[in-house]
Chains A and B, each alone.
Chain A
Amino acid sequence: MIIIIRNKKTFILSVLSIFLLLCTWLIYSDFYKKIFTGKDETITIGIFSDSYWEVQNGYSYRILEDAIAIFEEQHPGVKVEYVSGILKDDYSEWLSEQFLLGNAPDIFFVLSEDFNDFAEIGVCKDLTSFVTQDEEFHKEEFYSSAYEYGKYRGAQYALPYECAPKLMFVNKTILDKEGLNMPDDKWTWDEFYEICRKVTKDTDGNGTIDQFGVVGYTWKEAFESNGILLFDEKGTECYFADDNVETALLFMEKIGKLNSGYTINSRDFDLGNVVFQPMSFSRYRAYKPYPLSVKKYSGFEWECMPMPAGPNGDNISTLDTLLLAMNGNTDREEYAWEFMKLLTCNTQIQSEIFDYSEGVSVLKAVTESDQTLQSLIESSGDTGSLNLPILSEAVENAVVAPRFRNYDHAISEVDKAVNDILAGSSNFSMEQIIWNRNINKYLSNSR
């Protein structure tokens, strides 16, 4: 090098130039922060203040605080911090702003609707290497559906924190009044239709129908319980022309005809005029306790049970999962991963979900434990209504749709197709083929 750089001027210029390049790299890699702040042993967490299940319970940071206490005890000198007071509605925007400003937390909760976007943008770290290399981590402990929820294009970008399956809420008062039995847990579309047909009537004799079978049962629930997979893994192809789709569509048409043109909404269920409504399990947890149930679902007895199974499907539905992801740019990976494990795999922390939240723990051992049953019974004040194995099964078997870029847009395309087909009167299978072609065209264009 000494031979190459012959004179002093060249040498000085090269050194200065390389120095500037080094400065740029320091800025780019955020390494300068370490130089200025020294050794910083603080990890930050992004969390929202209210419950993910849209129920105010006053315990918003309780579980996190407990986890932090355990973590700081296990790792002396390491601090865990979070910004409090961010509402769930503002949370996604707040997180995005932190990403743009470069202040994003090391770990952050991800709302299920944001997961696709965040994974696609690249702000989440690919956890596959942690998952496979950490010997303390066993993915079998999780409900596979919840665990699959954190996958995007085959890579694990997030771990599940808590979840809630979709269940069918049943107004038992109407069933009793009409002399009908509660269907069993393995019920089918036929039983479902039969009950709906029997209860849809004009009870006060004023000429308008005022008691209905179901509200809020959309094509999504029908497709899920009839074993339909709409898209392939990468979002390149749509299977809308499938025979099962036609069966589901025909069932939807049949159910829709029962209402003979009346539009019903969820308020009708609240008022006690509808027998069935699909709802998240978290809502059961929120409104089952005595004082609250008085406020919302007054005047009738209600219960929840799995979704009815279609001819080619099972009693399953989707799972709503709150995820936990790691910042792709964090420089405290090890601590962040340890804390993520604490929040998601620690049985003590996970069992607190049943105490301070409305979701279900993502760990099988916790959800199926006696302690959990006890606390559920305590909070609902009802002994026989809840069958934990059924809940566990509903979570385990839940459908996890493949996720890809523009998944939401693709779903709205399918929504358009279903509405169009149901509104029209022509041959279903023909229409399905035409729409399938349209959606496929959309998918290939959006890539």
Chain B
Amino acid sequence: MVVRNGESIMDENRFSDYVLVIMKNLNLVIILYIAAVMSYSLMGYVQENTALEFLTKIHRTTIEAWKIPVMATCLFCSCLLLMQIRNASGYVLILKVGMEISLSYMISYLLGFSYTGIVLLILADTMKYFPKSKSKISFAVVVCMFYLVIDYDFLSSRFNIISFDTYLVYFRSDMRAALLGVKNIFNSMNTFLFLVYMILLVWIQRSEKERILCLNEQLNKTNEELQQANVQLEEYAKEAEKMVETRERNRLAREIHDTLGHALTGIITGIEACTALMDVAPEATKEQLKAIAEVARQGITDVRRSVKALRPDALEKYNLEKALLQTIEEMRTATNAKIDYQCTTDLNCFNADEEDVIYRIVQECITNSIRHGKAKHIQIGIEREYNLMKICIRDNGIGCKDVKRGFGLHHMEERLNMLHGSLKYDGSDGFMVEAQIPIRWGKGEKIND
């Protein structure tokens, strides 16, 4: 398929506009011509003292001679001005076209319905700017019906209309034939221009359709490519994630190797030495065991340090409760949001990993509420229910009807999963997050009891 570019369509559009302009000018000429002939004939009847004969023949009054061309020109100009309105739609469009048709009726009436081609002009003009819809066809049908109805031969059988021929009777027979001939030529020209215009319009529409079809195809192709690229990108992302995991694992391995490995190696070697020495020199063995204990202690210190290296800063410095209060206070001062904090249970019974999770959840939720929810009021509640720790964070922000799990929620869930906990969230009225963590049997339990 040959793709037509936009420029050639622009050319055709311009050409069809030229045809329309010619048509408008031609219509003005025709109207003036017919009006002039009618006026001349009326003046002639008066000048030759045959007015009575003319009046009794036509059986009705006429408009004064000079008024016909003046009024016809005024009405046609009014019609042309209306045609310049191009951005009409809906009722305005119907009003506009209705006005144009009534104007064309008035002009035709003035000219004794001897010329009705203005209706074609209106049809041509409107077809171009009419919005593409089914009503376009019904509109065209209505206008065509009107065109048929205002024909002289049809109307004259019902109403007393003075035909163009009656005016022509004033002239000599050869003149009469010439005048009628000119009128017919004008009429044919108008019809011909109308046909040319309509063919052009159809042509433009067809090429436009072709162009759109072609563009559509291109778009589909590009879309497919894009989809492929997307899939690849996703794969890359997965790989990258894996790589980070591996690196982290390696780091942990190294850490374990450097601290635990070192300590354990020292301990094993020391114990082996003790085994050998125990019977021979119990005192030395004792010394040795002391040294081993020192190494183990050192090892444990190293492990703690390593773990601490992965912990949040606040938790590093304070205990969980203080850390939470600290964070909340910081957020309060930084954002001016009202944050209520209510804790009904003791928070000193958790292991570091649990503290970590609790701290991270609270921190993440406040950040989310402020960043995404634009919340002004956040309520944080922490309570214990039997062996379940419940953390509930609620805000009055814009919420989110259709919650898409982002990285934050995903991470929270992952962390909770590690502690066998669960996460619930709801974005219908503000945003609400509820996390449940089972409390381990151990120190905390005993203390609380």
Residues of A within 8 A of B (CB): 4-7, 9-10, 13-14, 16-18, 20-21, 23-24, 27-28, 92-93, 95-97, 99-102, 114, 117, 120-123, 328, 405
Interface assignment of B81: CB less than 8 Å from any CB of chain A: yes
A23 near B52 with CB under 8 A, answer: no
Interface assignment of B178: CB less than 8 Å from any CB of chain A: no
Q: Which single residue of chain B is at the shortest CB-CB distance from A24?
A: B74
B82 near A13 with CB under 8 A, answer: yes
Q: Which single residue of chain A is at the shortest CB-CB distance from B102?
A: A21
Min CB distance, B370 to chain A, in Å? 42
Min CB distance, A221 to chain B, in Å? 27
B61 near A28 with CB under 8 A, answer: no
Which of B52, B59, B85, B92 contacts A96, CB < 8 Å?
B52
Beyond A17-B78, A117-B56, is A122–B61 a contact (Cβ under 8 Å)? yes
Main secondary structure of the interface of B (DSSP, over half): helix
Q: Which of A10, A24, A117 counts the most B-chain CB atoms under 10 A from its CB?
A: A24
What residues of B have a CB within 8 angstroms of the CB of A14 in the complex?
A: 82, 85
What residues of A have a CB within 8 angstroms of the CB of B106 in the complex?
A: 24
What residues of B have a CB within 8 angstroms of the CB of A21 in the complex?
A: 74-75, 78, 103
**Which of B43-51, B262-270, B333-341, B433-441 is found at the contact surface with chain A?**
B43-51
Interface assignment of B70: CB less than 8 Å from any CB of chain A: yes
B87 near A10 with CB under 8 A, answer: yes
B65 near A101 with CB under 8 A, answer: yes
A117 near B82 with CB under 8 A, answer: no
A100 near B55 with CB under 8 A, answer: yes
What residues of B have a CB within 8 angstroms of the CB of A9 in the complex?
A: 84-85
Which of B51, B62, B81 contacts A17, CB < 8 Å?
B81
Min CB distance, A225 to chain B, in Å? 31
B56 near A10 with CB under 8 A, answer: no
Q: Give A393 to B146 CA distance when docked, in angstroms.
A: 59
A121 near B61 with CB under 8 A, answer: yes
Interface assignment of B233: CB less than 8 Å from any CB of chain A: no
Beyond A21-B75, A27-B74, A100-B54, is A10–B59 a contact (Cβ under 8 Å)? no
20 new A-B contacts at CB < 8 Å, known A17-B81, A21-B78: A6-B87, A10-B87, A10-B92, A14-B82, A16-B78, A16-B81, A20-B74, A21-B74, A24-B71, A28-B67, A28-B71, A93-B52, A96-B52, A96-B54, A100-B42, A101-B65, A117-B52, A117-B56, A121-B59, A121-B61
B46 near A100 with CB under 8 A, answer: yes
Which of A5, A6, A23, A99 contacts B74, CB < 8 Å?
A23
Min CB distance, A427 to chain B, in Å? 38
B81 near A99 with CB under 8 A, answer: no
Interface assignment of B237: CB less than 8 Å from any CB of chain A: no
What residues of A have a CB within 8 angstroms of the CB of B45 in the complex?
A: 100
Q: Give A24 to B103 CA distance when docked, in angstroms.
A: 11
What residues of B have a CB within 8 angstroms of the CB of A122 in the complex?
A: 60-61
Q: Give A7 to B87 CA distance when docked, in angstroms.
A: 9
Q: Give A9 to B106 CA distance when docked, in angstroms.
A: 25
B91 near A97 with CB under 8 A, answer: no
Interface assignment of B64: CB less than 8 Å from any CB of chain A: yes
Q: Give A16 to B74 CA distance when docked, in angstroms.
A: 11
Shortest Cβ-Cβ A-B pairs, 9 listed? A102-B64, A96-B51, A20-B78, A96-B52, A17-B81, A97-B51, A24-B74, A17-B78, A97-B46
Q: Give A102 to B61 CA distance when docked, in angstroms.
A: 10
Q: Give A96 to B42 CA distance when docked, in angstroms.
A: 11
Q: Which single residue of chain A is at the shortest CB-CB distance from B49?
A: A93
Beyond A20-B75, A121-B56, A122-B60, is A10–B51 a contact (Cβ under 8 Å)? no
Q: Which single residue of chain A is at the shortest CB-CB distance from B52?
A: A96
Which of A4, A6, A100, A121 contacts B64, CB < 8 Å?
A100
A17 near B54 with CB under 8 A, answer: no
Min CB distance, A331 to chain B, in Å? 15
Q: Which single residue of chain B is at the shortest CB-CB distance from A10?
A: B85
Beyond A13-B81, A17-B81, A24-B74, is A120–B91 a contact (Cβ under 8 Å)? no
Q: Give A7 to B63 CA distance when docked, in angstroms.
A: 38
What residues of B have a CB within 8 angstroms of the CB of A102 in the complex?
A: 63-64, 67
What residues of A have a CB within 8 angstroms of the CB of B60 in the complex?
A: 121-122
What residues of B have a CB within 8 angstroms of the CB of A4 in the complex?
A: 91-92
Q: Which of B46, B51, B60, B75 counts the most A-chain CB atoms under 10 A from its CB?
A: B51
Beyond A24-B78, A93-B49, is A100–B71 a contact (Cβ under 8 Å)? no
A13 near B55 with CB under 8 A, answer: no
Q: Give A14 to B54 CA distance when docked, in angstroms.
A: 40
Q: Give A102 to B64 CA distance when docked, in angstroms.
A: 6
Interface assignment of B77: CB less than 8 Å from any CB of chain A: yes
Q: Give A363 to B242 CA distance when docked, in angstroms.
A: 125
Min CB distance, A401 to chain B, in Å? 19
Min CB distance, B347 to chain A, in Å? 63
Interface assignment of B403: CB less than 8 Å from any CB of chain A: no
What residues of A have a CB within 8 angstroms of the CB of B92 in the complex?
A: 4-5, 10
A101 near B46 with CB under 8 A, answer: yes
Q: Give A97 to B65 CA distance when docked, in angstroms.
A: 11
What residues of B have a CB within 8 angstroms of the CB of A28 in the complex?
A: 63, 67, 71
Min CB distance, B144 to chain A, in Å? 24
Min CB distance, A2 to chain B, in Å? 12
Min CB distance, B354 to chain A, in Å? 64
Beyond A13-B82, A122-B61, A123-B61, is A24–B54 a contact (Cβ under 8 Å)? no
| B86-109 near A? 1/0 per residue, CB < 8 Å | 011001100000010001001000
Which of A20, A92, A100, A120 contacts B59, CB < 8 Å?
A120
Min CB distance, A319 to chain B, in Å? 23
What residues of B have a CB within 8 angstroms of the CB of A17 in the complex?
A: 78-79, 81-82, 99
Q: Give A13 to B54 CA distance when docked, in angstroms.
A: 41
What residues of A have a CB within 8 angstroms of the CB of B85 in the complex?
A: 9-10, 13-14
A27 near B70 with CB under 8 A, answer: yes
Min CB distance, B133 to chain A, in Å? 20
Which of B51, B52, B56, B81 contacts A20, CB < 8 Å?
B81
Q: Give A170 to B82 CA distance when docked, in angstroms.
A: 76
What residues of B have a CB within 8 angstroms of the CB of A13 in the complex?
A: 81-82, 84-85
What residues of A have a CB within 8 angstroms of the CB of B63 in the complex?
A: 28, 102
A20 near B55 with CB under 8 A, answer: no
Q: Give A419 to B58 CA distance when docked, in angstroms.
A: 31
Show 9 residue pairs from A and B whose CB-CB distance is below 8 angstroms, ordered by the A residue. Answer: A5-B92, A10-B87, A17-B78, A21-B74, A95-B52, A97-B51, A100-B54, A117-B52, A122-B60
Q: Give A405 to B59 CA distance when docked, in angstroms.
A: 9
Q: Which single residue of chain B is at the shortest CB-CB distance from A16?
A: B81
What residues of B have a CB within 8 angstroms of the CB of A121 in the complex?
A: 55-56, 58-61
What residues of A have a CB within 8 angstroms of the CB of B54 in the complex?
A: 96, 100
What residues of A have a CB within 8 angstroms of the CB of B82 in the complex?
A: 13-14, 17
Q: Which single residue of chain A is at the shortest CB-CB distance from B51?
A: A96
Q: Which single residue of chain A is at the shortest CB-CB distance from B80?
A: A17
Q: Give A18 to B56 CA distance when docked, in angstroms.
A: 36
Q: Give A3 to B65 CA distance when docked, in angstroms.
A: 42
What residues of A have a CB within 8 angstroms of the CB of B55 in the complex?
A: 96, 99-100, 117, 121, 123
Q: Which of B56, B67, B106 counts the most A-chain CB atoms under 10 A from its CB?
A: B56
What residues of A have a CB within 8 angstroms of the CB of B103 in the complex?
A: 21
Which of A24, A92, A101 contacts B75, CB < 8 Å?
A24
Q: Give A17 to B84 CA distance when docked, in angstroms.
A: 10
Min CB distance, A122 to chain B, in Å? 5
Q: Give A100 to B79 CA distance when docked, in angstroms.
A: 28
Q: Give A13 to B81 CA distance when docked, in angstroms.
A: 6
Q: Give A100 to B65 CA distance when docked, in angstroms.
A: 7
Q: Which single residue of chain B is at the shortest CB-CB distance from A405?
A: B59
Min CB distance, A404 to chain B, in Å? 12
Min CB distance, A174 to chain B, in Å? 42
